[in-house]
Chains A and B, each alone.
Chain A
Amino acid sequence: MSGAGPAALSVRGAAKRFGAVVALDGVDIEARRGEVLALLGDNGAGKSTLIKCITGVHRMDSGTVEMDGVAVDVGSPAAARALGIETVYQDLALFDNLDPAANFYAGREMTTPRWLPRGLRLVRRRAMVEATVAVLRRLEVGVADVNTPVGLMSGGQRQAVAVARAAAFATNVVILDEPTAALGVRESRHVLDLILRLRAEGHAIIVVSHAMDHVMEIADRAVVLRRGRTVGELIPRPENKEQIVSLIVGGNG
Chain B
Amino acid sequence: MASDATERDAYPGESPARHGAAAPPAAADLKWPAGYRPKGAGPGSNGTPPSGAPAPGPRRNLAGLGLGALRVGPALMLLVVVLVAGALSPVFFTTRNLGNVLSQTAVIAILALAQLLVIVTRGIDLSVGSTLALSAVVGALIFGSMGSGPLVILAMLATGTAVGAVNGAVLVWGRLPHPFIMTLAMLSIARGLALWLSGGQPISGMPEVIQQIGGGSIGWFPYSAFLVLGLALVTLLLTRVMVWGRWIFAVGGNRDAARRAAIPVNGVIVSVYVISGLAAGIAAVVNAGRLNGGSPTFGELAELDAIAAVVIGGASFHGGRGHVGNALVGALMIGVIRNAMNLLDVNAFLQPIVIGVVIVLAVELDVLRERLEERLRVLQAAHS
Are A109 and B246 also in contact (CB < 8 A) when A129-B24, A130-B24, A142-B19 are?
Answer: yes
Q: Is A5 an interface residue (CB 8 A)?
A: no
Q: Tell me the bound Cα distance from A142 to B20 in angstroms.
A: 10
Query: Number of residues in A with C-beta < 8 Å to the partner?
Result: 47
Q: In the complex, are the beta carbons of A119 and B243 less than 8 A apart? A: yes
Per the 8 Å Cβ criterion, residues 142-173 of A in contact with B are: 142-148, 151-157
Question: Beta-carbon contacts of A75-99 to B below 8 Å, as 1s and 0s?
Answer: 0011001000000010001111110
Are A140 and B31 also in contact (CB < 8 A) when A106-B258, A133-B26, A152-B376 are?
Answer: yes
Q: Is A210 an interface residue (CB 8 A)?
A: no
Are A96 and B24 also in contact (CB < 8 A) when A144-B380, A189-B35 are?
Answer: no
Q: In the complex, are the beta carbons of B380 and A153 less than 8 A apart? A: yes
Q: Is B57 an interface residue (CB 8 A)?
A: no
Q: In the complex, are the beta carbons of A154 and B26 less than 8 A apart? A: no
Q: Which of B202-210, B261-269, B280-288 is the contact stretch?
A: B261-269
Closest to A82 in B: B262
Q: Is A60 an interface residue (CB 8 A)?
A: no
Q: In the complex, are the beta carbons of B262 and A189 less than 8 A apart? A: no
Which residues of A have CB within 8 Å of B260?
Answer: 77, 89, 93
Q: Which of B31, B35, B250, B320 contacts A190 (CB 8 A)?
A: B35
Q: Is B30 an interface residue (CB 8 A)?
A: yes
Minimum CB–CB distance from B37 to chain A (whole Å) comes to 9
Q: In the complex, are the beta carbons of B246 and A146 less than 8 A apart? A: no
Per the 8 Å Cβ criterion, residues 101-122 of A in contact with B are: 102, 106-109, 111, 118-122
Q: In the complex, are the beta carbons of B257 and A119 less than 8 A apart? A: no
Centre residue among A111, A119, A186 by max chain B CB count within 10 A: A119
Which residues of A have CB within 8 Å of B36?
Answer: 142, 186, 189-190, 193
Q: Tell me the bound Cα distance from A155 to B19 in angstroms.
A: 19
Q: Which of B10-18, B108-116, B130-138, B156-164 is the contact stretch?
A: B10-18
Per the 8 Å Cβ criterion, residues 249-298 of B in contact with A are: 249-250, 252-254, 256-264, 267-268
Q: Tell me the bound Cα distance from A189 to B256 in angstroms.
A: 29
Minimum CB–CB distance from B263 to chain A (whole Å) comes to 5
Q: In the complex, are the beta carbons of A107 and B15 less than 8 A apart? A: no
Q: In the complex, are the beta carbons of A186 and B32 less than 8 A apart? A: no
Q: In the complex, are the beta carbons of A137 and B246 less than 8 A apart? A: no
Residues on B lying within 8 angstroms of A by beta carbon are: 8, 10-11, 14-16, 19, 22-24, 26-27, 30-36, 38, 241-247, 249-250, 252-254, 256-264, 267-268, 319-321, 373, 376-377, 380-381, 384
Supply 8 further A-B pairs (C-beta < 8 A) apart from A97-B249, A133-B26.
A95-B250, A95-B320, A107-B262, A108-B262, A144-B14, A144-B19, A145-B14, A146-B24
